[in-house]
Amino acid sequence: MLLDTPICDFDWQAPDFTLNDAHGVAHNLSDYLGKDAVLIAFICNHCPYVQRIAAAFAADTATLAARGIQTLAIMSNDYHEHPDDSPPEMIKFASANGFDFPYLIDEDQKVGRAYGAVCTPDFFGFNKNGGLQYRGRFIDPKSGVHELLDAMIQISDTGEGPRTQMPSMGCSIKWTN
């Protein structure tokens, strides 16, 4: 089912979390905040919207990393019902697309619910204080402008995101029943 994300709730505070990546390494959001802007992306392997942007997303996040902006990707789908999103498949997908950031498993879906994530991809751009500044799309399909990249650089430089944002759209998160 195709869904759009809600509009940005500016300065909403990022709930802290600790999640493991597909290799079993724990990552805590608080370890990433305080230095610079942080991008949290709810994605999954099997979503055609994510598949379409995966390589460009990896390139943009590498550009962000070079500026000190961290990215954490979270997979909140019920991978027991959708095995294409299982941890071994996450490792393959990340490798095939050149992901150079943690790709985390939200197995109990508490983080996805706490953030109000609705679709894949769903992007949350936070300033260094953990205040939400961007909840929008990856790219403008008409102009080709990488809106997420530009927004994250702006957040890093000023602490504030653009006031005009277009929602991201994608496949619904596959919640457990």
For the chain, the domains span: 2-172
The separation between the first and the last C-alpha atoms of the chain, rounded to the nearest angstrom, is 16
Residue of 10, 177, 174 lying closest to 77 (CA atoms): 174
From residue 26, give the alpha-carbon distance in Å to each of 5, 23, 31, 145. 28, 9, 11, 34
Q: pTM for the complete prediction?
A: 0.96
Domain 2-172 has CATH 3.40.710.10: no
pLDDT at 167: 93
The CA distance from 133 to 124, in Å, is: 8
Q: Determine which helix (DSSP H) or strand (DSSP E) holds 72, and give its type and residue range.
A: strand 70-75
pLDDT at 8: 92
pLDDT at 1: 60
Instruction: Tell me the mean pLDDT per 10 residues along the chain, length 177.
Output: 78 97 97 95 96 97 98 97 96 98 98 96 97 95 93 98 94 91
Token pair for 39: 């991008």
User: Which residues, other chains included, contact 2 with Cβ-Cβ below 8 Å and sequence gap of 6+?
Assistant: 119, 169, 170, 171, 172
